[in-house]
Amino acid sequence: MAGIRLHEISFTYEGAREPTLLPISLDINDGEAFSLLGASGAGKTTLLNLLSGILRPTKGRVFFDDVDVTELPGRDRHLAQVFQFPVLYQSMSVAQNLAFPLTTRGASLSRADILERVSTIARELEIESILKRSANAISLFEKQLVAIGRALVRPDVSLVLLDEPLTAVEPSIKWRLRQTLKRVQEELGVTMIYVTHDQTEALTFAERVSVLADGQILQTGTPQAVYQNPAHQFVGHFLGSPGMNFLPLDVFPRSLQRTFAMDGDPDVIGFRPESAQLTAPSAQLLVGMVDSQRILGTAQGRVVSMYGLRCGNAQVFVRSPASFACGDEVGIALNHPVGFREALRVGGDGPG
């Protein structure tokens, strides 16, 4: 396996006026489950292609275990890749598909060693029962497991790149495949980089996440850190459903403004819908008017609703078990407000 280091890499496609990737520096630990998360056009695919050797950076260097691989083609980087749609040889059995990477790259393994390696990976992925079946006779879920197995079967693989691997999988089994992938990654200690636009996939798979927008990394941290303490308004907006609420400082009562001023003098305050409580209005609290209520379900015997509230000229959402009606004036007590100084930026769609 390998630790990955990107040093000030940037990339501009030929003929493009603007770079697709701005200078990026990033360290990924040996054996880490890491995720690159961002919307379409954020630069995820370009960054993945720089790691795989399909593209070479316009500037900067790529290191695998402190070895400069910037100029090396992908075949010499000892990596494997899993794509959105599983790429298998349909005329071969599952076992033959798993063994294929070991028989075509000049690996000095005996037939017995190859069978043992295939058996080990099949056991980890819990697909031993389908080893003799043809690849065209198994489900899409099983095909993706086999594709993952092909990526893991070579003992010399230093890095596994996962490019939106669950896009084609039915939603009902995405969770199962993600849990299997996470378990295998932990048991084998494989360095994996999971590229996705789906925040649920990224936050439940990875030990750390980098959030990308407009060709740059806005924040890298644990899933809890990037969710609870976004370093940029886009991160707070992008993560969560709905995302973080944002209000200008002057909407808050002066007592709260003074409190926020002691914590970096922010221009904007953000808070999660679940990080607030609705109560009776008070001069010491943010005050809003209930615009809408949508029942989400029950928790501990109480009905939980998503409330839409009007605070000044802005709308915010609060997830709460409180009982209010449209038109009620309510107080909003914040449990974990986050201050920001920069304006909200939302990355656009586009290639990369």
Q: Are 33 and 41 in contact (CB under 8 A)?
A: no
Q: What would be the CATH architecture of the domain defined by 244-340?
A: Beta Barrel (2.40)
Domain with CATH 3.40.50.300 in the chain: 4-233
The whole-number pLDDT of residue 51 equals 96
Domain with CATH 2.40.50.140 in the chain: 244-340
What residues contact 173, with CB distance under 8 A and at least 6 apart? 141
Q: 190, 182, 89, 81: which is closest to 136 by C-alpha?
A: 89
pLDDT tens for the chain, 352 residues: list them. 689 999 999 999 999 999 999 999 999 999 999 999 999 889 999 999 999 999 999 999 999 999 999 999 988 998 999 988 888 999 999 999 999 998 876 557 788 999 999 999 999 888 999 999 999 999 988 999 999 999 989 888 889 999 988 877 777 778 888 888 888 888 888 899 999 999 999 999 999 999 999 999 999 999 999 999 999 999 999 999 999 999 999 999 999 999 888 777 899 999 999 999 999 999 999 999 999 999 999 888 889 999 999 998 899 999 999 889 999 999 999 999 999 986 655 554 433 4
Enter the CATH code of domain 4-233. Answer: 3.40.50.300
Q: Are 266 and 273 in contact (CB under 8 A)?
A: no
Query: Measured between alpha carbons, how far is 82 from 152 in angstroms, rounded to an integer?
Result: 10
Q: Are 24 and 139 in contact (CB under 8 A)?
A: no
Rg (CA), the chain: 24
Q: Are 338 and 226 in contact (CB under 8 A)?
A: no
Locate all alpha helices (DSSP H) within the chain, ordered by sequence.
44-52, 94-104, 111-125, 140-153, 171-188, 199-205, 223-228, 233-238, 254-261
Q: Are 307 and 256 in contact (CB under 8 A)?
A: no
- In DSSP terms, which residues pair with 221 in a beta bridge? 209
Query: Measured between alpha carbons, how far is 154 from 290 in angstroms, rounded to an integer?
Result: 58
Per the listing, tokens 């998503």 go with 306
Q: 28, 46, 55, 57: which is closest to 158 by C-alpha?
A: 28
- In DSSP terms, which residues pair with 100 in a beta bridge? none
